[in-house]
Each structure stands twice: as structure tokens, then as C-alpha cells.
Amino acid sequence: MNNNGLITLEQFIVDQESQYPDAKGALSKIFRAIELASKIVNRDVRKAGLVDILGSQGETNIQGEEQKKLDVIANNIFISAFSRSGEVCAVISEEEDEIHHLPKTENEKYIIAMDPLDGSSNIDVNASIGTIFSVYKRKSKSGTPTLDDCLQAGNQQVAAGYVIYGSSTMLIYTTGNGVNGFTLDDGIQEFCLSHRNIKTPEDGNFFSVNEGNLSDFPEGIVDYISYCKEKDKATNRPYSARYIGSMIADLHRNILKGGIFIYPPTTKAPNGKLRLMYECNPMSFVVEQAGGKAHTGECPVMDVETTALHQRVPVFVGSKNMVDKALAMHHATDKKS
Ligand code: AHG
Ligand code: MN
Ligand code: MN
């Protein structure tokens, strides 16, 4: 703690790391990289309207999505920060088709999966966006990491979290020992502990799903959405609908206030839209560590066997009782058909 009673992220991580003798400062270095990169991205996001970094890069990524300029800028900022950390051998990024191998160092034990800017369709309209990250230990001991080193299940994550560039900028993370949130103090440019040991309510009042796709949803999901809208005093329904199209923003609200976020399978996209390695797994780790639940409809998100870098999975995530109810209704119609 410093003289003002503030606990900075850096101090917090050093204190926590004494509990992980195996980490030997490596995680501190990785978090220092995330912290620095997110401050730079935050600066760029804040002045996005003033300089020529809004809009499209004129290219598409491997998934055929238009890359926004800030997507590419954020990707480069995080990659160079990880590269300088000396602890990361490879990065899997939404914005890169293949594994991004970092220059060799002796200590390069970790692999990062990241979505450098999540919710990028919101960039041009000044709504909340974020960065999602996931940290793995490589499987092999040395040499160039292989695809097999990278394709690990979510239950192997060493740490995960996100930075939300919202009305304030926050960094939320877990190393498997609860979830803590830090708010960037603009004046001193430090992330300070603001949300200690975050717990998601078991029941909530928000449901977040893109109802524009309703006609493509499985029957049980349509039923669950109707259930959310029904009037019932005893269960506090109807719930409020909240969906901005930025997983980070929608889930951050639901983590703090209680709610469910669903990106279901659709007839057009049977595996949903969201990516396992750098969207669903890290957010699931945070949510589960906060006492919530994350499921694909078939198994816990973090138990999915990872077979491709840009693999997609359906996701039901948030307050435990809400996820259980949605899954029960989803499965009830599965059995009918
Ligand atoms: P990204 O901007 O990284 O491509 O991710 C956008 C994702 C996610 O953040 C959001 O929940 C979802 O796309 C919204 O998709 P729809 O517009 O289909 O609802
Ligand atoms: Mn995303
Ligand atoms: Mn993205």
C-alpha cells in the first residue's frame, strides 16, 4: 500500500505472487506488459476522435471481418509489450491468422491468447470496448512453440482477464484465486485496486443476447428469451434486456450486477460467433472465479477440446442460476426434436 492508501496493480501482483513460488516473477512481467500496453491503447482510444485512427484498415482478418484501424494498432501494441516482457514465446490473436512467434529469450515459458480490441464495431460510436487476454504455460520445454503447445483447453489457463475502455478504464483479472478489479487513475496513470474479490450474484436481472437473430435461434433459446420477458413477481421477472454488441461491456455489467450473456448456436453459425481461445475461455475463467457459470450447451466452456486457433463455440455465461435455467430450457427442446 502506498502513502495514499491505494494499492496499485503492480503492488497487488507482487504480493499475490508470493503465493505462487513456481511463477518466479514471470507473471509480474506479463502483467506489467499488459498494464503498459493497455495504458497506451487507452490513450489511443481516448483520442480516437481527434486523430486519424478511426474507421477501417481496409483489410479483413482470417474470419473475413473488416479490421478497424484501432484493432490493428492495439494488436501491435500488445505484441510488442509481450515481446519485451521476455516471458512470452507466442501470441494467438484475433487479428493474426497464424501463431505469432516472438523473438527467442531463455525464459520464454508462456503463451498468450488475446482479442486486442473486443467490440470493435463500437469504436466509431464511442461505446465501451476492451482487450481480452488469456495466459498459458507452454507444454514443450524449449524451441519454437508448436500448434500443440498453443491448443490447450481453457482449464489450463494460468491467468486471464480483460481491460474495459469504458466511462473509466478498468483491468479485471484472475489467476484462479478469485477476481479483482483495478481502475485506472488518470492523474497518476496507475491501475488501483477498486473491486476486491468480485462475486457475481447467483441470480440477476439482466439478459444480454442479440435478439435480431431470434429467427435463427434454437427453440429452447427462444423459449428462454420469452421466459426472461414474462411477468412474475416471485422471480423478479421480466428481466431487463441489455445488449451493446461488445462482449466485454455486456459481460462486465452482468458480472458486477448479475445477469446472463448468451451467444447461441444459430442456423447460420452452428458454433455461434464467439471465439474459444481469446473470448470465451478467458471470460469464462473470470466469470467462474467470480462464482458464475460458463457453458456451451454441451459442456463447460473451459472443458472444450481446442482444435483450432480461431475455433468458435456457443456460450451461455453469467449468474449461475440463470445459466442453469437457460440450459435446462435449451436441453428440454433438444430432447423433443
Ligand atoms: P470483435 O469486435 O472482437 O470482433 O468481437 C465482437 C463480438 C463480441 O464482442 C460481441 O458480443 C459480438 O461480437 C456481437 O456480435 P453480434 O453483432 O452478432 O451480436
Ligand atoms: Mn471480440
Ligand atoms: Mn476484436
**Which residue ranges have their beta carbon within 6 Å of ligand 1?**
65, 94, 115, 118-121, 210, 245-247, 273
pLDDT of residue 64: 73
Positions of CATH 3.40.190.80 in the chain: 206-336
CA of 24 to the centre of ligand 2 (A): 31
Distance of CA 134 to the CA centre of its chain: 8
Give the number of whichever ligand sits closest to the CA of residue 122. Answer: 1
Atom 12 of ligand 1, residue of closest alpha carbon: 245
CB atoms within 10 A of CB 239: 22
Question: For residues 106-143, b (16+ Cβ closer than 10 Å) or e, as one string?
Answer: eebbbbbbbbbbbbbebbeeeebbbbbbbbbebeeeee
CA of 67 to the centre of ligand 1 (A): 13
- Give this prediction's pTM: 0.94
H or E stretch including 200?
Answer: none
CA of 278 to the centre of ligand 2 (A): 8
CA of 183 to the centre of ligand 1 (A): 24
Q: Which atom of ligand 1 is nearest to the CA of 119?
A: 2
- CATH architecture under which domain 206-336 falls: 3-Layer(aba) Sandwich (3.40)
Positions of CATH 3.30.540.10 in the chain: 9-195
Atom 11 of ligand 1, residue of closest alpha carbon: 247
Q: Which atom of ligand 1 is nearest to the CA of 120?
A: 2
pLDDT of residue 337: 46
Q: Which atom of ligand 1 is nearest to the CA of 250?
A: 11
The per-residue pLDDT string of the chain (337 residues; one tens digit each, 9 = 90 and over) reads 445 689 999 999 988 877 766 666 888 999 999 999 999 999 998 887 666 666 677 777 777 776 678 899 999 999 999 999 999 999 999 999 999 999 877 668 999 999 999 998 888 888 999 999 999 999 998 888 999 999 999 999 999 999 999 999 999 999 999 999 999 999 999 999 999 999 999 999 999 999 999 999 999 999 999 999 999 999 999 999 999 999 999 999 999 999 999 999 999 999 999 999 999 999 999 999 999 999 999 999 999 999 999 999 999 999 999 999 999 999 998 655 4
- Contact between residue 190 and residue 177 where contact means Cβ atoms under 8 Å apart: no
pLDDT of residue 50: 65
pLDDT of residue 332: 93
CA distance 20 to 181: 20
Q: Which CATH class is domain 9-195?
A: alpha beta
